[in-house]
Amino acid sequence: MTGLREPHEDAVLPAADAAMIRQVLGACADLTGWAERHCGPQFAAAAGDAAGAAGFSRAPGALAGQASLAIDVPDFSDAAGRTR
């Protein structure tokens, strides 16, 4: 066993880890949004490719938008040990 969870297994994160994930996602959303506005069509195409490969829309801003939405996931997930 490698210690990695299977895709169907839930993860339990300490609050500090969730806070770090929010910070990183926020920085990624900001950087991606800035780069899409300032780095020209090649970056926009690469961001669209990355978003499409992840199953998101390839529309301009989609990758930054998904990162921005993901920031809230730790805050609105059920607490550990609770069922939905």
**Distance (Å, whole) CA 51 – CA 33:** 13
Residue 65 lies in a domain: yes
In sequence order, which residues have a C-beta less than 8 Å from that of residue 74 and are 6 or more positions away?
Answer: 13, 18, 21, 22
User: Residue 62 domain-assigned?
Assistant: yes
Q: Give the structural domain span for 61.
A: 15-76
pLDDT at 36: 86
Mean pLDDT, the chain, integer = 84
d(CA 64, CA 54): 13
pLDDT at 1 over 60: no
pTM score, two decimals? Answer: 0.70
Mean predicted confidence (pLDDT) in 71-79 = 79
Q: Is position 40 within any domain? A: yes
Residues 12-23 have a mean pLDDT of 88
Q: How high is the pLDDT of residue 5?
A: 76
| Residue 71: Cβ-neighbour burial (10 angstroms; 0-12, 13-18, 19+) | middle
Question: Is position 30 within any domain?
Answer: yes
- Residue 14, pLDDT > 70, answer yes
Total domain count, the chain? 1
